[in-house]
């Protein structure tokens, strides 16, 4: 009887001859941080859902996170490697691949590194707290002591640059729901279902930064790679980011039934935890490995999914 073919996983790939090249690539990016990052990558890949994903998509997503010098530990919340069901374009079969995602804390971190942001924040707004909102003048008035319930009714974002420019935005919860339905075919599962408030805050923050913020090369790279399946070429350095991203979210595939179901399932109790985001310092000799164009409604008919 012939031997069964060995199933590859992240750990076995990293221990193979191919793993030498991957570790060399990570060492170019992270230097002395490489061993710790590799350990974290193996730990993350051992989650039940990621075990079913094509291992190289997990590794490629982790390499993008390394390029941005962001940890992929989900407990930190800077960057995530998330499993998604994708239809293989050649075979037509459904397979699991890993997708790179930036968390809202990751966006804050990349903004802080520019040294151009004096303040940046995004918060949930609970019923009773919103006094008034003028979208033209951007006058937003709150009474934070007047929280009537744990029902989240919207999300407010704010940043102020060191040159004095500031921006305030407010999204009603219904606006976020409509946006998520339009741009995420996986809205009924995954992060939107499991942690709606974090995804909502990320959406508000990302949109605000894209339209009015200062975008470093790192930030542009993060925006472009966010919620994309990263191909193996990013590891081999034989092509740039543009040639190695595949967005699994497609606005045309969102289903109304999913939208209605998720609206019923979203818990009204938001995340009450106050979070202090520590600055995650990049390597002094770190170079941005991949240059990316800004994705936005100005130069892309289908806006990148959040």
* 161-175 residue pLDDT tens: 999 999 999 999 999
pLDDT at 248: 67
Would you put residue 98 in left (φ > 0), alpha (ψ -120 to 50) or beta? beta
Query: How sure is the predictor about 116, in pLDDT bands with cuts at 50, 70 and 90?
Result: very high
* Closest of 252, 239, 246 to residue 97, by C-alpha: 246
What residue numbers bound the domain in which 87 lies? 10-265
Please count the structural domains in the chain: 1
Buried residues in 213-234 as b, exposed as e (16+ CB within 10 A): bbbbebbbbbbbbbbbbbbbeb
Segment among 23-27, 246-250, 276-280, 289-293 with least mean pLDDT: 289-293
Asked if residue 152 belongs to a domain, the reply is yes
> Residue 226: CB partners within 8 Å, gap ≥ 6?
100, 101, 102, 206, 304, 306
* 192-211 residue pLDDT tens: 777 899 999 999 999 999 99
Asked if residue 241 belongs to a domain, the reply is yes
DSSP element (H, E) containing 230? strand 228-230
Q: How many C-beta atoms lie closer than 10 Å to residue 111's C-beta?
A: 22
pLDDT at residue 261 greater than cutoff 50: no
Q: How many C-beta atoms lie closer than 10 Å to residue 274's C-beta?
A: 6
* 83-100 residue pLDDT tens: 888 877 788 888 899 999
Asked if residue 77 belongs to a domain, the reply is yes
* Closest of 136, 262, 238 to residue 190, by C-alpha: 262
Asked if residue 271 belongs to a domain, the reply is no
* 224-242 residue pLDDT tens: 999 899 988 888 776 688 8
pLDDT at 187: 65
- Direct distance between the N- and C-terminal alpha carbons of the chain, in angstroms, rounded to an integer: 50
Decide: residue 252, CB within 10 A, 0-12 exposed, 13-18 middle, 19+ buried: exposed
* 49-75 residue pLDDT tens: 899 999 999 999 999 999 999 999 988
pLDDT at 291: 30
Supply the mean pLDDT for the chain: 80
* Token pair in block for residue 152: 């989240």
Asked if residue 41 belongs to a domain, the reply is yes
Mean pLDDT of 124-131: 96
User: What is the pTM for the complete model shown?
Assistant: 0.75
């Amino acid at each position: 009887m012939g031997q069964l073919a060995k199933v590859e996983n992240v750990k076995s790939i990293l221990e193979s001859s191919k793993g030498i090249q991957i570790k060399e690539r990570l060492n170019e990016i992270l230097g002395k941080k490489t061993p710790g990052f590799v350990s974290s990558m193996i730990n993350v890949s051992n989650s039940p859902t990621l075990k079913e994903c094509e291992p190289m998509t997990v590794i490629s997503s982790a390499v993008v996170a390394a390029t941005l010098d962001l940890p992929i530990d989900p407990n930190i919340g800077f960057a995530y490697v998330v499993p998604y069901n994708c239809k293989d374009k050649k075979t037509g079969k459904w397979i699991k691949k890993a997708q790179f995602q930036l968390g809202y804390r990751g966006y804050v971190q990349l903004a802080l590194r520019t040294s151009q942001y004096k303040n940046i924040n995004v918060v949930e707004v609970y019923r009773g707290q919103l006094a008034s909102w003028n979208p033209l003048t951007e006058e937003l008035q709150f009474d934070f002591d007047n929280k009537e319930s744990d029902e989240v009714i919207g999300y407010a974002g704010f940043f102020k640059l060191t040159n004095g420019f500031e921006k305030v935005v407010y999204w009603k919860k219904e606006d976020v729901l409509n946006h998520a339905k339009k741009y995420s075919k996986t809205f009924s599962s995954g992060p939107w279902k499991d942690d709606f408030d974090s995804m909502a805050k990320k959406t508000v923050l990302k949109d605000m930064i894209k339209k009015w913020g200062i975008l470093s090369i790192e930030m542009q790279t993060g925006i472009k790679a966010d919620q994309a399946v990263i191909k193996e070429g990013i590891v081999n350095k034989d092509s740039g980011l543009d040639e190695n991203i595949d967005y699994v979210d497609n606005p045309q595939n969102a289903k109304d039934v999913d939208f209605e179901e998720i609206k019923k399932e979203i818990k009204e109790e938001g995340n009450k935890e106050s979070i202090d985001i520590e600055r995650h310092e990049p390597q002094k000799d770190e170079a941005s490995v991949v240059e990316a164009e800004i994705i936005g409604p100005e130069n892309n008919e289908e806006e990148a999914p959040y």
